[in-house]
Chains A and B, each alone.
Chain A
Amino acid sequence: MLAPAFIVLVVLLWTGLGIAFVRASGVYPAFGMVTPSGIFWREVLGDEAFGPSLWLTLRIAGLSTLAAAGLGTALAFLAAAWTKPTWRLRLLLQCPLYLPHLVAANVVILTLGQSGLFARILHLVGLAAEPADAPRLVYDAFGWGSVLGFALKETPFVAVLVYPFALAALATYGPVARTLGASLGGILRRIVLPMSWPAVATAAVITFAYGFSSFEIPSVLGRTYPKVLSNWAYELYTNVEAASRPRAMVVGLLVVGGNAVLAGVYFVLAARYDAMLTAIRAGKTT
């Protein structure tokens, strides 16, 4: 009964990665390569595109995670403090959560591109005469478009993960704290925030991992050089040059390595997440 799940979750994934590793190490019979070597690893790590690509990837993942974690946590706290858990609230949280990556990228083009709504509003208030005067937020060297696209996509995700913590902490300790004279701001800062950290941290790790490996948003909103690692891997993979394929596997495996580390952090935090939520609901946290 467990075999099909095992085949999908373990056999397919790890066989695929295993073959990718063999190809990356120079054994690629389809292209006449049969001797293992570390040359493709050295080539990728020594490539002048590697540093800029890694830095761009880290920048996009890091900044979008910061934005989404901050905004999402604030939204979750305010929602828990000021509203009741109604279906309307859930609807508002879920609609942006379901935004496909390609659609999020399109939304960024239409709103923040140099002829988008933001630029037109800048024109209205006299800050941009021509589209070229508006800040370049899409197809830019820094990667702002991707940062904002991921932030738009992940903010509701953080809010959804943090919300039950904020709600439980407020329900369990809110009345006592109020009786003792605490303000709402004080309660959120001194009680809800320290109790919600497993949720905030879990959400941030997942968000960072997605930003680090995701393909669509930077592919639509990014430049041709430098590319984020996943886009670079795809570019190499579709290149006609035979030696390009093993390099594509190397870049892909570097993304896998980064995400494997993040997964390790996630599993440690996830155990805390469940234990903490149960403890808060039972009123047992000191």
Chain B
Amino acid sequence: MRTWRAALVHAALAALILPVLPLLIWSFTEAWPWPGLLPTTFSLRAWRVAADADAGFLSGLAASCALAAVVTVISLAISLPLAELLGRGRFRGKAFVEVLAMLPLFIPAFVAAMGLHETLIHWGLADTYAGVALLQLVPTTPYMVRSLATGFALLGTRLEDQARTLGAGPWQVFSRITLPRLVPAIVLGSTFVFLASLGEYLLALLVGGGAVRTLPIVLYPFLASGDRAISSMGSLLLYAGPLVVLLVIDLKTRKYV
């Protein structure tokens, strides 16, 4: 009784991810004429395009991963002090600070990017990865702040107080007590920020102005043109590769939860 019900729930959840399967089939397809349920000829054409340096898919993936990694690290660094304040502090106006920190989740950053465009040109940040990274920090950092603030709230101050009583310095307390205990919150926040930056298209387009060639920018024209083998291969690169890496990280850090 219990087993088939659990299986049913798992199947229903799996059904949400099942639509991804056609991506895999299409990426190996040469011809899939109507109304066949399976392709008539398979080929590695799309994956040869992936390996072709001129097509820009691999360099796009590398650029996207590097950009997402930079955005994640900066987001983590700038969020830690604010998250500690929100997670453990008690002060007047805390609710207001929380609202200010969470609002960028709701306010579409592309409108701010349109407003800032001339300023970015003036600073030499338009059409650069640095400019895209700066703007991508705006909508992604609230995830990091929220996740770290919860981590700080759960951590409390007792362990750190004890360490200080036993003579630990500020850096020792941070590196030996605070940081290891925050690992689950850091992993959660980093995962969200990394994935949000990785799949982000509009800011990379607006601020990057064609000079920034992240994977979504490389992929988009193929979605519109209808070369399904190529667009499916690109989609898999964007989705499956990073997903596997993140799930492994999730599995490895589970012991901390």
Chain A residues with a Cβ under 8 A of chain B: 1-2, 4-5, 8-10, 12-21, 23, 30, 75, 78-79, 82-84, 87-89, 91-96, 98-103, 105-107, 109-111, 115-117, 119-121, 123-124, 128, 130-131, 152, 155-156, 159, 206, 209, 213, 215-216, 220, 230, 233-234, 237, 248-249, 252-253, 255-256, 259-260, 262-263, 266-267
Contact = CB atoms under 8 A, between A and B. Distances in A.
B166 interface: no
A20 B115 contact: yes
Interface residues of B, number: 77
Interface string B62-88: 000000000000000111011001000
Nearest to A229: B108
Contact of A92 (B13, B114, B135): B13
Contacts of A105: 223
B238 A103 contact: yes
Interface in B202-257: 202, 206, 216, 219-220, 223-224, 228, 231-232, 235, 238-239, 242-243, 246-247, 250-251, 254
Contact of A124 (B37, B81, B114, B254): B37
Contacts of B145: 5, 9
Nearest to A7: B78
Given A12-B135, A87-B254, A256-B111, A120 B35 contact: yes
A105 B112 CA distance: 25
Main SS at interface, chain A: helix
A20 B23 contact: no
A248 B114 CA distance: 9
Contacts of A260: 103, 106-107
A147 to B, nearest CB: 15
A172 to B, nearest CB: 20
9 contacts: A8-B137, A9-B142, A16-B109, A78-B9, A92-B10, A124-B37, A220-B220, A259-B106, A260-B103
